[in-house]
Structure 1
């Protein structure tokens, strides 16, 4: 990928390597990190080299020309801690890339839309559904709503306006997505403010990797940190029943909607933390949220975990040891290594994968399958 902002914009830190070089750099680093736990070959899931992100956010930078006319640009942080003004971004999806200049031009030429705008967030899908959140340092009034509705219609996008303690939804606050996963079509709705995987093509391959390493079973699946059901819904086809937990209200709302969209009826979603669920599953504490859930009716064999960067806490890590099979998706190799040092005392690593969700950065995600010794 050739980008005129390489070396200036601090988003793509591995700009001095081509894609294969940076990927090999990350693979070598992670093999060294986990060499005390496994010497097996890793499965490598590559990213597209450009236009791979379906989620992005930019500051809006204001300048005035020689005739004192307002000019706007997108902006990112630079290496020298100064702002780098940009007029394009090669890593965002083609649809977002196409809308970015058109949107900025419309905002710049409208005093109501441009007044005290601070940043813009994009959330897109592979079926060209696009949600744009415009964030302001002022209260949004009826005039702004009228202008934004015109803009929404003209650019065929969905717009949300945000300011302090204010959220204006002009049509809906989610996008629609359709993904073909392992030969089957799935529908998803991704809400503004909820977590979504930013690299859709890699996300599909991640899910397919998990499915490949999950045999059809008459037993049940336990899932922690389920988000909006990204893995849960495809995995439900492999198990009798699924019990999935998530702490975020927004994500649980999305998960329930996505379950309905795909006509899945064997998943029970519970809004509670992994720590709380561990206490409930071990019958150490009663929760009113579980009054209609019969935990004793589940015959768990596999646990699927996709924790945040902090990884697993001690209690949840110990819970994982009780399952015959553990599937662990990690966004932080440091905490994954820490957790695996404990989990490998009772389980052996049988598959290991690296998922390059974030090209041109040092970040890489991992997947590990463990089976009881």
Structure 2
């Protein structure tokens, strides 16, 4: 069945109407004429699984990545970047109900500072779109940068030399499972973390990556298909460093950090600009991405984070930058006395704010609330609840994730007088 892509849905898939059916087709652009041969139901959406673009739209651009169209990492490389920004602005309007300007990423290739590469019997690379078991074999990743090619070449040499077993995803068997590559975009420091099942790693392993700042061996002792584990050993530096503006952060294999360092500069600058008063609560503080920046600019900062290891890293980052900030372990729902802060910064996971926390915000009524969100849907629901006492003073979007449908949003909320 043949049809024309009318537009993109919120997930970046092209929408084609075939009779009474609305089919969502990946890797297509508005104006494409597509032949849809098969589809499957995903929740309440029909998603094409076998299709062909028979007449490309004039709006298309040439993807830089040779694996585009099969790899599940990027969905929009064929859409001109200006159109990607427009799509994300329209997405926020549809979900939030008000217009939000989206600030483009300073770089749209070589911007990611972390990639998690699957090592499997089916290949070394990323998941094939629409599957959990199949892998697209790659030699490098353009959205990460050229160092990915060098690391993967060294990895293949290591595997070939020692004939090590690769992980079978379906069978849950095999030794080598992931290689996680992290890079300080502003420092040039490189980390290679090999994640394996339990077993013996040849002692020659670190020599294959002698150009890296930090080399790790981590062991995943669970059947879960995840790209992290218990640190078994490291060579070189314990951390790599990333520098966002005038603040330096230590990066560890098991710590979260914003994946687009270039756009992260604008993100922290926006948060600083919106903060008011002297006393700030940095909730979901992580490794201190916002808290250390705020403290360096004279704010009195208290950070609360559920992950004890992230709290430890935040304390180290404060010490590294010579600032005074207090970080402690705690749950969002247990926070008390929010009224003592001039500004509360929240950067929750995709699930959004816990209902108990929203209740406490509405009860304690801190004057200023800065909400950093990676999920517009949960943001919309939280904003509706918070509107009982707050009004939106400013909202911006930041494209932290070029070539994907994802967008970061920063909203400043002011207590109604």
Question: TM-score by structure 1 length?
Answer: 0.82
User: Any stretches of 5+ residues in structure 2 without a counterpart?
Assistant: 1-62, 167-173, 222-229
More helix by share: 1
Question: Is the aligned partner of 1:84 residue 2:146?
Answer: no
- Alpha-carbon RMSD across the aligned residues, in angstroms, is 2.3
Q: Helix, strand or coil for the counterpart of 1:108?
A: helix
User: Any stretches of 5+ residues in structure 1 without a counterpart?
Assistant: 64-72, 283-297
Q: CA deviation at 1:336?
A: 0.4
Measure, in 2, the Cα distance between the counterparts of 1:314 and 1:62: 44
Pick the aligned partner of 2:204 from 147, 150, 156. Answer: 147
Aligned to 1:262: 321
Question: Is the aligned partner of 1:189 residue 2:250?
Answer: yes
Pick the aligned partner of 2:343 from 302, 305, 326. Answer: 302
Q: CA deviation at 1:80?
A: 5.3
Measure, in 2, the Cα distance between the counterparts of 1:223 and 1:80: 37
Aligned to 1:285: none
Aligned to 1:122: 181
Aligned to 1:162: 218
Residues 220 and 239 of structure 1 are in contact (CA less than 8 Å); yes or no, is this contact kept in structure 2? no
Structure 1 residues 254-277: Cα deviation after superposition (integer angstroms, max 9, x where no partner): 101000000112x11111111122
Q: CA deviation at 1:97?
A: 4.2
Residues 175 and 199 of structure 2 are in contact (CA less than 8 Å); yes or no, is this contact kept in structure 1? no
How is 1:1-373 mapped onto 2 (pairs within 5 angstroms)? 1-35=63-97, 38-39=98-99, 41-62=100-121, 73-79=123-129, 81=131, 82-111=134-163, 116-126=175-185, 127-140=187-200, 144=202, 146-152=203-209, 154-165=210-221, 167-171=231-235, 172-180=237-245, 185-215=246-276, 217=277, 219-265=278-324, 267-278=325-336, 281=337, 299-321=340-362, 322-373=365-416
Measure, in 1, the Cα distance between the counterparts of 2:179 and 2:296: 38
Q: 1:42 to 1:173 in 2, by over 3 A?
A: same
Q: Helix, strand or coil for the counterpart of 1:90?
A: coil
- Is the deviation greater in 196-205 or in 127-136? 127-136
Question: TM-score by structure 2 length?
Answer: 0.74
Q: Helix, strand or coil for the counterpart of 1:242?
A: strand
Measure, in 2, the Cα distance between the counterparts of 1:239 and 1:273: 26
Q: CA deviation at 1:187?
A: 1.4
Structure 1 residues 132-166: Cα deviation after superposition (integer angstroms, max 9, x where no partner): 1112234125xx2x2123234x3334221122445
Residues 47 and 201 of structure 1 are in contact (CA less than 8 Å); yes or no, is this contact kept in structure 2? yes
Measure, in 2, the Cα distance between the counterparts of 1:234 and 1:167: 29
Q: CA deviation at 1:371?
A: 0.9
Q: 1:240 to 1:12 in 2, by over 3 A?
A: closer
Q: 1:98 to 1:23 in 2, by over 3 A?
A: farther
- Is the deviation greater in 92-101 or in 353-362? 92-101
Measure, in 1, the Cα distance between the counterparts of 2:82 and 2:299: 41
In the alignment of these two chains, the number of paired residues is 333
Measure, in 2, the Cα distance between the counterparts of 1:106 and 1:201: 32
Measure, in 2, the Cα distance between the counterparts of 1:89 and 1:240: 39
The list of structure 1 runs, each at least 4 consecutive aligned residues, that deviate by more than 6 angstroms after superposition, is: none
Aligned to 1:293: none
Q: Helix, strand or coil for the counterpart of 1:228?
A: coil
